[in-house]
Amino acid sequence: MTKTLVNRTIRVMSRHESRRNFLRKFALVGSALVTAPLDFLLKPVSAYAAVCGPGAECNQGWSVFCCTVNRGVNKCPPGTFVGGWWRASGSSYCCDSGGGAGSRYYIDCHPECECTSGCGPFCTSSCLACKCRCNNVSSTCDRRRICCNVFRYGQCHTEIGCSGGVACRVVTCTPPYVLFDSCGSSLRTDNATAQHTAPCLSGPCT
């Protein structure tokens, strides 16, 4: 029965789509079934919403994930630095020692200023190569903001006194002060981000 349904779906979708669009959409549905099967099958959500989770649209105010804009790499892109971090508890993407939802850490990557004077603590837009915009790349549902959120948690690279807004976010299940010598352990929290994700990130832990 499953094979029949899949074959029928392929035939119907392929009649109205170019090969590239068809493969992109079919892969997205597959990702939704793998990463969030119950949400996708049992709730009225799209494949995009099932894969990207909450807060994925630009107007919701969150910063884009770095892997979305950095060729799939979950690291700060060139021209940016680790500026600060926060923790979200109860994330299904990081399991604790007992297999339950654990702590997930979000690391903000800030663009470096191109000016050497007139900065404090954020550069003016004329001193930044990275301009505020929405991520409108059609191949991903991570439509969040790039270089728009002008604030800094500030536990990392305290020797850098001036920066731009948040270019993108890196995520990890390991505390940033363990990963980076430049980061301190002063805790900031935002549990509202615990289920934020993107197609380029790994799915929930098991």
Structure-block tokens of residue 117: 């004077």
Inter-residue long-range contacts of 66-70, CB under 8 Å, 24+ positions, other chains counted: 66/109, 66/167, 66/168, 66/169, 66/170, 67/198, 67/200, 67/201, 68/135, 68/137, 68/140, 68/142, 68/144, 68/168, 68/198, 68/199, 68/200, 69/135, 69/146, 69/167, 69/168, 70/168
- For residue 189, list its beta bridge partners: 87
**How far apart are alpha carbons 164 and 153 in whole angstroms?**
13
The C-alpha atoms of residue 151 and residue 125 are separated, in whole angstroms, by: 14
Mean pLDDT of all residues in 37-58: 61
Which is more confident, 80 or 125? 80
Average of per-residue pLDDT across 12-38: 44
Q: Give the residue, 186 or 204, on which the prediction is more confident.
A: 186
Residue-level pLDDT at 96: 85
Percent of the chain with pLDDT over 70: 75
CB atoms within 10 A of CB 169: 25
Lowest mean pLDDT among 34-48, 88-102, 147-161, 175-189: 34-48
pLDDT digits (tens, 9 = 90+) for 135-191: 999 889 999 999 999 999 999 999 998 999 999 999 999 999 999 999 999 999 999
Could you state, in order of their start, the residue ranges of all structural domains in the chain?
1-52, 53-206
In sequence order, the β-bridge partners of residue 104 are 88
Residue owning tokens 């948690």:
153
Closest CA to 75 of 118, 107, 32: 107
Integer Cα distance of 57 and 64 in angstroms:
9
- Structure confidence at residue 97 (pLDDT): 80
**What would the mean pLDDT of 105-116 be, rounded to a whole number?**
94
Name the residue with higher pLDDT: 120 or 133.
133
Average pLDDT, the chain: 82
15 three-class SS: helix
